[in-house]
Amino acid sequence: MAVMTAMLLMTLMGLAAFAVDVGHWYQVGQQEQAAADAAAMAGVTYLPGDSTSAFSTARTYSKINGFQDGVSSTTVTPAVDGQPTRLRVTVKRSVTNFFGSLLGLPSTTVARTAVADYSEPVPMGSPCNEFGNDPDQASYRATACSGVLGQFWANVNSPGSDKANGDAYQSVSCLTAADGCTGSTNNDYATDGYYYTVSVKAPMTSLTIQLFDPVFVSTGSPCDTNFGSGSTAATAARNDLVSDEATRYAAGASGAYCTGDYLFDPSNNTTPMNTQFTVRDPGTSAWDPSTFPVHTGCQRTYPGYSGTLFNVLNKASTSTFNQGQPAVDGNGTIVDGFRRWTTLCTITNPVVGDYLIQVKTKLGTSDNANASNHFAIRAYGSVGTDKESLSVFGREKMSIDSNAPGVTTEFHLARIPSVDAGQILNIRLFDVGDSTTSGTITVVYPPLAAGGPFTGCVGTGPASGTLSGCSFTASSTFNGHWESLAVPIPASYSCADADYTQCWVRLRYNYGSGSKPTDVTSWTTSIQGDPVRLVE
């Protein structure tokens, strides 16, 4: 036995080295993986704007988990991984072997890697440089907008309005029963309002941000209120800013200029609402708007108006535009903003990145207003081609007023890039379905994208369970309620990521001829697991 043991000694030592040392490698590897995962997920939150902080944070969290860069033969290497929102962290340590040194292998390098992705808020509502309708398309409309029908206005309600009227995030009160309410308090109320992104994708010498009809002017949803009659009709008003009063100031919902601002209870509350718009420069954290500083000189509060339109649209009798009408001193702010594109801000030499437009209505003196304001946003540069490098879209949440009755309408709901293949798209729709008839709402797979269509969609709310064709019937039973949709994105999903007009999931309204699905509604979308998830 002694002879046999001596003969097998080297083999036994090799087996011992294998069993003990390799087990140690795996133990260290597991510890490294935990450190790399924590480091990647902590550091990636600073991307894409601050790679220096991303790398230092990654090293700090690796140290917290037992692996400090430069100590105990350890290296921690963070790097941006192909995409600007992905961080790769490799943790590497030279491990001393217990038995391997007897076989000429004193140490082994063990390394583990983690890749985390920091997804920005899902773009919503528009693939081009305009958000909402544009009655004056002119030369400011980008090529990407040519296939965008719009058929909606951006919406914001005043704090005093009832949540059940459709704005889930800016109505403070719950006057009637609605989802997300505790008594008369709206738990979904967002103190900072809505944010829209103006994304600058290429250098340009200037960036102009304009708003269409940002002032609240009470005309009623079908635009048939306060227009006057006879010689005081709004169309008779004359001022320096427009020359098409007969069409621009005309009453009626069929006109392209009808935004349909209205008071919800005009017999009891005629207080006009004020609306504040603020432009913010690119920030350091995509999910934290407070890191986006206010651009100096780019904040404006638009006062509202409720009364006879002629009185604020027509200039005094000394004006050559008066054309014999009674002497009335017009309101320059209303003239400038009512049914016109008006400039909110022009930024010289904007940086490539995302600017924000913040929209708020809780402004103190107008908090008791009970109203709804509809508007649109567009952005363009100093030369004609600049508009092709701009896009304007909602982020995280948005509220709209759909104004295309009796047609099949498709809205650009959310942009889903190829990297989200295999994930779950979560959609929440509040107060959809207001119409004279029931209609069908369908989540539509992005045109030209591979891997479709959507299957296995699950609804929670008035329409619950598996939804065939990712579609459901909406009616008055949806009033004041959230409808949540979990939409599986196929593992084989891919789209033309480089083309910002592609990869858009759409929402289709089909209410049939003669219906009137005009409705204020609120939407939000997200990818399950966002904003941070490990992808490797």
| Tokens at 103, concatenated | 């076989």
Q: Is the pLDDT of residue 483 over 80?
A: yes
What is the share, in percent, of the chain residues with pLDDT greater than 90? Answer: 56
Position of tokens 């009185």? 311
Q: Tell me the per-residue pLDDT of 41-77, one tens digit each, with 9 for 90 and over.
A: 999 888 877 889 999 999 999 999 999 998 888 999 9
Q: Is the pLDDT of residue 344 over 90?
A: yes
Q: Tell me the per-residue pLDDT of 12-35, one tens digit each, with 9 for 90 and over.
A: 666 666 677 788 888 888 999 999
What are the E-state strand segments in 119-212?
123-124, 130-131, 152-157, 181-182, 185-186, 194-200, 206-212
Q: Given this model, what pLDDT does residue 517 score? A: 55
pTM of the entire structure?
0.84
Q: Given this model, what pLDDT does residue 14 score? A: 66
Within 10 A of 18 (CB to CB), how many other CB atoms are there?
Answer: 13
Q: Is the pLDDT of residue 512 over 70?
A: no
| Tokens at 331, concatenated | 């309101």
Which DSSP helix (H) or strand (E) runs through 341?
Answer: strand 341-348
- Give the integer Cα–Cα distance in Å for 397 and 178: 18
Q: Tell me the per-residue pLDDT of 433-480, one tens digit each, with 9 for 90 and over.
A: 776 667 789 999 999 999 989 999 999 999 999 999 999 998 888 889
Q: Given this model, what pLDDT does residue 365 score? A: 66
Q: What share of the chain is helix, strand, coil (3-state, %, to 5)?
A: 20, 35, 45
Tally of residues, the chain: 536
Q: Is the pLDDT of residue 248 over 70?
A: yes
- Give the integer Cα–Cα distance in Å for 374 and 225: 16
Taking residues 114-139, report their average pLDDT. 88
**Residue 355 to residues 1, 137, 295, 347, Cα–Cα distance (Å):** 81, 23, 9, 11
Cis peptide bond upstream of 48, omega within 30: yes
Q: Are strands 86-96 and 532-534 parallel, antiparallel or unpaired?
A: unpaired
Strand partners, 509: 409, 441
Q: Tell me the per-residue pLDDT of 301-330, one tens digit each, with 9 for 90 and over.
A: 999 999 999 989 988 655 555 555 555 667
Q: Is the pLDDT of residue 216 over 60?
A: yes
Taking residues 255-264, report their average pLDDT. 91
Q: Is the pLDDT of residue 238 over 90?
A: no
**Residue 467 to residues 152, 189, 427, Cα–Cα distance (Å):** 26, 29, 13
